[in-house]
A and B are shown apart, each in its own frame.
Chain A
Amino acid sequence: MSTLEIKDLHVSIETEQGTKEILKGVSLTIRTGETHAIMGPNGSGKSTLASTIAGHPRYTVTSGSITLDGEDVLEMSVDARARAGVFLAMQYPVEVPGVTMTNFLRTAKTAIDGEAPKLRTWTKDVKDAMGKLRIDADFAERNVNEGFSGGEKKRVEILQLELFKPKFAVLDETDSGLDVDALKIVSEGVNRAHAEGNMGTLLITHYTRILRYIKPDYVHVFVDGQVVEEGGPELADRLEEEGYDRYAKGAGAAIIAAEAAAQA
């Protein structure tokens, strides 16, 4: 049982206009076995949260903390975070010249586990996982993401999720750009990884449709760098009907206050 804890996280980036604060105090706790959906309109800071957890150098944490079972994640280098069990399925996976998928997967697995996987079982694991995600066998000999379609890149992200077995998976808009069939395939992959019972999931999405296939335990609504509403899966249904309009910029705090008052 592991816990990923984000406390009052403030994150800014450097832009041509100067420093801009994107996350304005985010707190979240995810435990093994839980699936949290983070939903929000474009520009609300969802992807910033994902990239900050993984340690992308573009984002500067100005205050707050991220810990994994009490260990300070913010102190870790990007590769150390991955080895500690954090996995980010990227929104825009980059193409890496010169490195075949086979070589990449084996190198990453070796780095994460601290020892090389047993060749025979590893080859079979990769093959099986690729088969389940309907990834052509010839992808193994192609360079990482090179010439892959958007949907293929997303499937390859989930392939890594299944093979690397992280403690926490952050899925950054994995559903974007996928047709219904691909969405199902990708969701099944996430559900398989989840079913092993050793993973917590942070699912970042703009749309509710992926939530038909991956059932969240908690839904957090993100607006303007803050969580403005939290609830169970029913909150996603409500968002599907009403959209994000009622969380007009700046209205978030008011809604929370109003709902708190109503419950009192």
Chain B
Amino acid sequence: MTAEATTEKARIGAPSIAGFTEEGEHLVASKVDRHHSHGTQVMASRAERLTSHDVADFALPNGREEEWRFTPVRELANLLSDSPSDAGALGVTVEGPDSFVQGVLRAGEAPRGATLVPADRAAVVASANVEEAQLIRIPADAELDQPIRVLMTGNGAGRRTNTHHVIEAGANSRAVVILEHDGSADHNGNVEVFVREGAQLTVVSVQLWEDDARHLAQHDAEVSKDAVYKHIAVTLGGKIVRLNSNVRFAGEGADAELLGLYFADAGQHLEHRSFVDHNLANCKSNVLYKGALQGKGAHTVWVGDVLIQKQAEGTDSYEKNQNLVLTDGCRADSVPNLEIETGLIEGAGHASSTGRFDDEHLFYLMARGIPEDVARRLVVRGFLNEIIQQIKVPALEERLTEAVERELSATEN
């Protein structure tokens, strides 16, 4: 048995769902566990994690650090060096409706740097090496009927690129921003998001890289009063992708959803980390990442941190990660960390499960006349569709569904 599906976490309860070993718990106000955490924590709290704009504050990681322990850091030397972009290594185009503003922000120019403070070596060298961050500003009250698309194409494997995008959704605006990555590069991409009062913003980051690309990213958002933020990471391509999606609140009544979908093939390392900082009262968050794995050496990582600070009374929060292992030889790491510092909350829960699509599932479907390839497609499409349908941009949903199918046909051959 070469398959390895690990869940780094205490086992709670008996298997309950669908070929899954479900682990999780639901904590309510009456049952509070201070500093509830399952990972091998070096720090007592996620709140103590170093963040800084100064490159000198972050040493090169050796892979033993808590935040790097799953990542193949030896293969990331180029991306972790304090180096500028290689000229012409990345083509960037922005398209969309007329009703938004583009500009540039130099270091120190507001609001750049107000929300995104680098939390690791990759993010800090990216920020330090982007002279002009690209600004996308949706004016207050604007309702965009078409998504804004930022297309980034890498022009060569191993060529270093740094980007920093600032997306600002003005008060009561509605918009979808899609960041698309393809081609080959060693790409360090920071994204900084402001969702102003009452705005509704969806940011979709799509990784359709060639299989020699490497991509490290920190996406930080600040969500204001009564605003709704949705971040969706879709990672299908790339040799190594590590995307941190973080959110905190700037007003009560805000709502954040961090979603993700990944499909790792042989030799791919796809890592997603999320951090919801409930720093204010009466905000809501939901985190859901779903991943499929196939082929020898396919490795996925999900680390989900949720911190409910003492003052964040009335918080309602849930996080879940589900993985579906399709073949032997894959590894899915899944680490939910939930810290709760107040008992006066609506709810806080987490769940993690890793299931196999095994011979018994296949037999069941085939015994109903369904050919093997159709059966696999049916299961994976169904599993991942929960995330894809959240994008609500039909053309992109269709493209991603097709991309998932292409991943699947790779197993069959």
Of the candidate stretches B17-25, B34-42, B242-250, the one touching chain A is B17-25
A residues sitting closer than 8 Å to B (CB atoms) are 54-57, 77-79, 81-83, 88, 90, 93-100, 103-104, 107-108, 111-112, 143-147, 160, 164
Query: CA–CA, A79 to B16, complex, Å?
Result: 28
CB of A21, distance to nearest CB on chain B (Å): 22
Interface residues of B in 356-413 (CB under 8 A from A): 357, 359-361, 363-372, 374, 378-385
Q: Give 30 pairs: A residue, B residue, CB < 8 Å, sorted on A.
A: A77-B366, A79-B372, A82-B369, A82-B370, A83-B369, A94-B19, A94-B361, A94-B364, A95-B19, A96-B18, A96-B361, A96-B379, A97-B19, A97-B324, A97-B383, A98-B18, A98-B378, A98-B379, A98-B380, A98-B383, A98-B385, A103-B378, A103-B382, A104-B368, A107-B378, A111-B369, A112-B369, A143-B382, A147-B16, A147-B18
Q: Which residues in B have their C-beta under 8 angstroms from that of A146?
A: 17-18
Query: CA–CA, A111 to B357, complex, Å?
Result: 21
Query: CA–CA, A93 to B381, complex, Å?
Result: 21
Q: Which residues in A have their C-beta under 8 angstroms from that of B96?
A: none
A81 (CB) vs chain B CBs: closest residue: B367
Query: CA–CA, A111 to B366, complex, Å?
Result: 10
Q: Are B360 and A100 in contact (CB under 8 A)?
A: no
B residues sitting closer than 8 Å to A (CB atoms) are 16-20, 324, 355, 357, 359-361, 363-372, 374, 378-385
For the complex of A and B, 8 pairs with smallest distance between CB atoms = A98-B383, A98-B382, A82-B369, A108-B368, A111-B369, A78-B366, A112-B369, A97-B18
CB of B294, distance to nearest CB on chain A (Å): 14
Q: Which residues in B have their C-beta under 8 angstroms from that of A82?
A: 366-370
Q: Which residues in A have their C-beta under 8 angstroms from that of B379?
A: 96-99
Interface majority SS (helix, strand, loop, mixed), chain B: helix
B383 (CB) vs chain A CBs: closest residue: A98
Q: Which residues in B have their C-beta under 8 angstroms from that of A54?
A: 367
B353 (CB) vs chain A CBs: closest residue: A97
CB of A98, distance to nearest CB on chain B (Å): 3
CB of B357, distance to nearest CB on chain A (Å): 7
Beyond A98-B382, A108-B368, list 9 extra A-B contacts (CB 8 Å): A57-B363, A95-B17, A96-B364, A97-B379, A98-B384, A100-B382, A104-B365, A104-B378, A111-B371
CB of B13, distance to nearest CB on chain A (Å): 14
B380 (CB) vs chain A CBs: closest residue: A98
Query: CA–CA, A18 to B378, complex, Å?
Result: 36
- Indicate which residue in A56, A107, A145 contacts B370 across the interface (CB closer than 8 Å): A107
- Indicate which residue in B18, B361, B368, B378 contacts A164 across the interface (CB closer than 8 Å): B368
Q: Which of A57, A83, A107, A112 has the most CB of B within 10 A?
A: A107
Q: Are B368 and A98 in contact (CB under 8 A)?
A: no
Q: Which residues in B have their C-beta under 8 angstroms from that of A164?
A: 368-369
Q: Which residues in A have their C-beta under 8 angstroms from that of B360?
A: 94
Query: CA–CA, A77 to B363, complex, Å?
Result: 10
- Indicate which residue in B19, B359, B381, B384 contacts A96 across the interface (CB closer than 8 Å): B19
Do A97 and B20 contact each other (CB < 8 Å), given the known contacts A56-B363, A57-B363, A103-B382?
Answer: yes
Q: Which residues in B have their C-beta under 8 angstroms from that of A90?
A: 364, 367
A85 (CB) vs chain B CBs: closest residue: B369
Query: CA–CA, A108 to B365, complex, Å?
Result: 8
Query: CA–CA, A78 to B368, complex, Å?
Result: 8
A105 (CB) vs chain B CBs: closest residue: B368
Do A111 and B378 contact each other (CB < 8 Å), given the known contacts A94-B361, A96-B361, A97-B355?
Answer: no
Q: Which of B16, B369, B370, B385 has the most CB of A within 10 A?
A: B369
Q: Are B382 and A79 in contact (CB under 8 A)?
A: no
Q: Are B355 and A79 in contact (CB under 8 A)?
A: no
B359 (CB) vs chain A CBs: closest residue: A57
CB of A141, distance to nearest CB on chain B (Å): 12
Q: Which residues in A have their C-beta under 8 angstroms from that of B19?
A: 94-97
Q: Which residues in B have their C-beta under 8 angstroms from that of A97?
A: 17-20, 324, 355, 357, 361, 379, 382-383
